[in-house]
Copies of this chain bind each other. A is one copy, B any other.
């Protein structure tokens, strides 16, 4: 409501001078600066970010695209992003993806100086349009050709989980992962399965694969089916903790005791995992968001673009044990 012009008038200077003061330009005499500052104070002036953005071509906003609600792991990542951005000059605009949909469409005309994609992969078309808009893109929990990003070695993660089961003595292992089609071109589930397949093959173990929509409930349904079979697996590796929780519920439904009748390994190590006593492959979730944000910030400064892979750990809790030889 108060504009720079009113401040200028009150301080008896030109608008350019006010702008200089606002932007901390050294080319203003102390006396003038004082007058301007006083005028700003008296008028309760606050600079209009929109006008500034139009003029400079920078909005000081970073977009974060993520399937926010689908997975708790995304929340943890977002937390890292938020913490880093809080210490920067950028604001965070959240674009929640509920279903696969062109990112650019979702963005609408929204002007952002940079974009962070969490747990989803932009399509080639999206990338092209983003490039035309000169918006740098950083991936968190995803990899793509030329794009900088933070990720993990999903295949290795699959190996870690499966190796654990194999070493415990399991030879008939179930795998529960995302249904490829529903997950935004997201390949981690597939890679984790590849890792599992590799280890099973080497150990002469059988891997029974099922794909399902993400989330606990769908996993529960499929797991119930998988565990009802005559030759049910003695252990299940779920591609996410959420799905692992679904498996645990299914086990309970069927009266199977964990880990005696069934071992379960998850992936992510989200907070609930601890409460459920779930054995899982742990990845630094919050860290990934923080690092991703930092990376984007550096891209914005024109720095070189890198891709970082974070470390994975097996966390053994109470849902895995050797199979009972019935």
Contact = CB atoms under 8 A, between A and B. Distances in A.
Interface stretch (A41-49, A151-159, A193-201): A41-49
Contact of A82 (B47, B92, B94): B94
Contacts of A272: 271-272, 275
B132 A93 contact: no
A91 B95 contact: yes
Interface stretch (A107-115, A207-215, A221-229, A305-313): A107-115
Interface in A7-54: 44, 46-54
A108 B69 contact: no
Contacts of A91: 93, 95, 108, 110
Given A54-B54, A109-B46, A109-B48, A94 B95 contact: no
Given A51-B54, A53-B50, A82 B109 contact: no
A79 interface: yes
B93 A49 contact: no
B49 A111 contact: yes
Contacts of A59: 50
Contact of A93 (B50, B75, B93, B133): B93
A98 B75 contact: no
Contacts of A50: 50, 53-54, 59, 111
A96 interface: yes
A304 interface: no
A109 B69 contact: no
Contact of A1 (B69, B93, B111, B133): B133
A83 interface: yes
Contacts of A267: none
A53 B171 CA distance: 62
A285 B35 CA distance: 49
A186 B254 CA distance: 45
Contacts of A129: 44, 46
B68 A96 contact: no
Contact of A92 (B44, B52, B72, B94): B94
18 contacts: A1-B132, A1-B133, A44-B129, A46-B109, A46-B129, A47-B109, A48-B54, A48-B111, A49-B111, A51-B54, A52-B109, A69-B83, A92-B96, A93-B94, A245-B275, A272-B275, A275-B275, A275-B276
Closest 4 CB pairs of A and B: A49-B109, A82-B96, A275-B275, A50-B53
